[in-house]
Structure 1
Amino acid sequence: MSLSVWFRVIRVKFLLASVIAVSLGLAVSYWKAQNIDLTSAVITMGGVVALHASVDLLNDYWDYKRGIDTATKRTKFSGGTGVLPEGLLKPSIVYRAGILFLVLGSLAGVYFVALYGWIIAAILGFAIISIYFYSTRIVDSGLGEIFVAIKGCMIVLGTSYIQTQFITATDIAAGIIAGTLSSFVLYITSFPDHDADKQKGRRTLVIVLGKASASKVFWAFPAVTYGFVIGGIASGLFPVFCLLSLASSFFALDAGRKITASINDEKEFLSVMKSTLLFSRITGALFVAGFLVSFVADNYG
């Protein structure tokens, strides 16, 4: 049983969304308080990554049990990991690993609940319940994208609260940006799985809207993201250096230009998914960088 198989089933490249969200929460709190507790930051990162790995493992397990992964065509960005259909791991092992990561992530959360009380408890409770029921209840009700958006926002809020013990409008606005970027990736990667998901009873936003209409909704995600960035800067919630995040617009424009014509062309749609993923990750990373550059400019410029 090779380590590469575990990296594959955990979907390591998608864990970056949570890494960016935690980094954003740390950057915002550092910008606000001019200080950071490194031990808490490491525990937060480890706990959040464990919880993210848990939802991916449990999703792979339930998609295999429901026959979704065997009905989809796997790509670099969609269709599941292929680990269970290929027999590389036993389903029971993947399920137990998912529960183990859920427990490990929860223990990190319990540590902070003991220190900081009910706000962290509420965030942790939401995380545990939604992670466990994500693949069996949430995605069947058409709420998958909303869950991912809330999850991304909660990560930023929780991370910042652990560092500063208060939540501001800056945290909330930054959290909405992180959540929107994460939800965008889930949204775009559900296009190729439309038929299999629908056949097996899953309800993604793409299924609810239909592919043609859903392709037009594409622009809502970068619009919300950039709208909050620009609005946050204009209102003083974010430093002006957060304008760096607009440098990723090329990738959104590239994907948006191709999406309508390629929704039924698997090969062409790979390019759309790749550009969307790059837009999400680069925008998030540059947004984090905006806070760090501002801190350096304010203190050492």
Structure 2
Amino acid sequence: MTKPKSANIVHAMRPSFLILTPVCILLAVATAQFQGLHYSLAYALLCLVGALTAHIAVNTLNEYQDFHSGLDLMTERTDFSGGSGLLVQHPHLSAQVFKASLIALAITAIVGIYFITIHGWKILPIGLLGLLVVITYTKWINKQAWLCLIAPGLGFGTFMVTGTYLCITGAINTSIWLISLIPFFLINNLLLVNQIPDIDADTQVGRNHLAIKHGIGASIKAYGIFTIFAQLTLIYLVLTNILPLASIVAIIPMLLGYFVLYGMIRLNRDIASAPKYLAANVICSIASPTLLALSLFFA
């Protein structure tokens, strides 16, 4: 029996991937609470809505554009890469998926405009840059190797964490920029590994991310550097009392990065043949900022 249209469109949103968004919002809220700042829980929930719709927008727009470029027809999907496969099975839903992306983008923009009326124009640069990443990620950013490398971390780690912090407190400071570096490095790694199984298909449609332009060896080096930098950032922030000693617990899931790095070196472009490495990468990038946020709440 064919699923209802709504269920299919929800599938294109890739709900299991959306968990990353509340984790980033939680980290911003936890930082504000740890620092003793007055913040609005209602604003935090509104940020969550705007951030989730931004995430949905980039997922559905990616789904739509990858189908029309022919990429989805060439990709071997895994649980972690290759898109949802929705439009390959139900091409008649293409317009509906595109419409969903536009609606999600509109909601995100409305949330942003609301916060501009509350806090003024200082929120605008972060908001515009975030929207720019959403709109250009599939069509343009994926063709720029080094920008593609850091765009995921900028979108989720930098813009989402610092933007939420600004929206809920009305202020921004150096500490939140430094704290946002931790998800920045980890989320870059999340996408970096997931690109490897799709190299052949991505090349055929003109993508030019790091693994295509400079080889998988460069991706392995970048992954290792980001893994180390995430841990060094955490240690530095604890040693300088920007984060409490309890926050060092977040380094435990970060250690999974070395397991993933081993898998990348051992399997190279065949890493998708061992899903445990892809799963470990997801756990590392989600559990680390989650534990960091919890350590701030209970410090």
Question: Does the TM-score normalized on the shorter chain lie above 0.5?
Answer: yes
For residues 48 and 267 of structure 1, do their structure 2 counterparts lie closer, same or farther at Cα, with a shift above 3 Å needed?
A: closer
Paired with 1:212 and 1:17, the residues of 2 have a C-alpha distance of 27
Q: What is the one-letter code of the residue matched to 1:155? A: M
Note if 1:182 corresponds to 2:192.
Answer: no
Q: Give aligned pairs, total.
A: 294
Report the TM-score, using the length of structure 2 for normalisation: 0.93
Deviation at 1:84, TM superposition (A): 0.6
Residue from 115, 119, 132 that aligns with 2:135: 132
- Range with greater deviation from structure 2 (43-52 or 154-163): 154-163
Q: Partner of 2:252 in structure 1?
A: 247
Note if 1:200 corresponds to 2:195.
Answer: no
Q: Is contact 2:192-2:219 (8 Å) kept?
A: no
Deviation at 1:284, TM superposition (A): 1.3
Q: Is contact 1:51-1:105 (8 Å) kept?
A: yes
Identity within the alignment, %: 22
Q: Deviations over 1:227-250 (max 9, x none)?
A: 110011111211111111012144
Q: Partner of 2:219 in structure 1?
A: 214
Note if 1:79 corresponds to 2:82.
Answer: yes
Note if 1:284 corresponds to 2:289.
Answer: yes
**Runs of 4 or more above 3 Å deviation:** 266-269
Q: Deviations over 1:246-281 (max 9, x none)?
A: 121442232122211212335534222111011111
Paired with 1:258 and 1:266, the residues of 2 have a C-alpha distance of 7
Q: What is the one-letter code of the residue matched to 1:282? A: A
CA RMSD of aligned residues (A): 1.6
For residues 79 and 113 of structure 1, do their structure 2 counterparts lie closer, same or farther at Cα, with a shift above 3 Å needed?
A: same
Q: Is contact 2:196-2:271 (8 Å) kept?
A: no
Paired with 1:77 and 1:190, the residues of 2 have a C-alpha distance of 10
Deviation at 1:35, TM superposition (A): 3.6
For residues 126 and 162 of structure 1, do their structure 2 counterparts lie closer, same or farther at Cα, with a shift above 3 Å needed?
A: same
Q: Is contact 1:181-1:225 (8 Å) kept?
A: yes
Q: What is the one-letter code of the residue matched to 1:42? A: L
Paired with 1:291 and 1:89, the residues of 2 have a C-alpha distance of 47
Paired with 2:272 and 2:57, the residues of 1 have a C-alpha distance of 30
Q: Is contact 2:32-2:169 (8 Å) kept?
A: yes
For structure 1, the 5+ residue unaligned runs are 295-301
For residues 192 and 223 of structure 1, do their structure 2 counterparts lie closer, same or farther at Cα, with a shift above 3 Å needed?
A: same
- Range with greater deviation from structure 2 (167-176 or 52-61): 167-176
For structure 2, the 5+ residue unaligned runs are none
Q: Partner of 1:259 in structure 2?
A: 264
Q: Partner of 1:299 in structure 2?
A: none
Deviation at 1:2, TM superposition (A): 5.5
Q: Is contact 2:264-2:271 (8 Å) kept?
A: no
Q: Is contact 1:219-1:256 (8 Å) kept?
A: yes
Question: Alignment partner of 1:136: what SS?
Answer: coil
